[in-house]
Structure 1
Amino acid sequence: MFQDPTLYPWRTVRQNVALSQDISGKRDRRAVEEAIRLVGLNGFEKAWPHQLSGGMAQRTALARALVNHPRMLILDEPLGKLDALTRLTMQTELHRLWKERDFTAIMVTHDVDEALFLATRVIVLGGANRSRVLSDIRVDAPFQRHRDDPYFLKLRREILLQLGYSAASPL
């Protein structure tokens, strides 16, 4: 799943979600409907991409990624272009879907809070071209996580310091 939803404008939500099935010839209408339901787009199956909000377009892309029940989901800054409230909602949705579907997820994000909220493991990259591993952090906190938990605030400060923010910098 990419930063941009990359939906085909000539395909409805349902048709965009079913894209991989159309290509493979292995159609499973129930799987498409289930993926649409999972991401909360019931009632928008016939909507065109230009009729969707940014969050709805990303939900469509997520449904398209989930329709074939992947064991691993690779996400490349999938929430980066969303407004703050939609981003928080989508983070909660990703977590819910991860628990419900039990897939492995690898997510690239520049948002430290997002990484700590969603991950069980955070790998911090840095250096001139962001290719050096600065740390590998196990996030040992149970889910239902809270962003103001002292444990998360401590991890957040550690990561930001590793990335070059001084303790005196306003966060």
Structure 2
Amino acid sequence: METKNIGIYILIFTTGIIIISSLVEMIKIENNTMRYCGTVSYSETIDKEPFIKKDSLNSEQQEIVALGKELFEENCNPCHSMNQKVVGPALAGVDNRWENEEQLIQFIKYPEETMQKNEYAKSLYDEYGQIMPNHDFFDDEQIKAILFYVKYMSGEKVYVEL
């Protein structure tokens, strides 16, 4: 009698495994919609290209992007990337981490001085264990060009004047 019960349990267990395996195989992707066991979710693939295409920028903005790229590659690229921590933090969204652009510009020019009076600057030192070197050789417009380039390359919206 007990052997029959064990056989029934094994049959039920095996049937359950087969049903679950069949459901897992029912995953379908159609028009970016994934269906799985009665649930629906939406997924989308995005390109690594900038959100605003270069030809949608006016000529002045294209010049700013070019200047920002040149300055970034010569001065920032050794320690920063757009989306990954390197020696310093990733720069995508950097302007959103500061109260205002003036604080960010001040930090870029004089990080140690800014660290003395700004909690976020202190937290960067705590996280990375070093202070970024002064970039006081930049004028504000050069720093703004770098920040514009970072926004552009990070896929953030940049304002396009028509």
TM-score, normalized by length of structure 1? 0.24
Larger radius of gyration: 2
TM-score, normalized by length of structure 2? 0.25
Structure with a larger share of its residues in helix: 2
Higher-RCO chain (CA-CA 8 Å, sequence separation at least 6): 2
Structure with a larger share of its residues in strand: 1
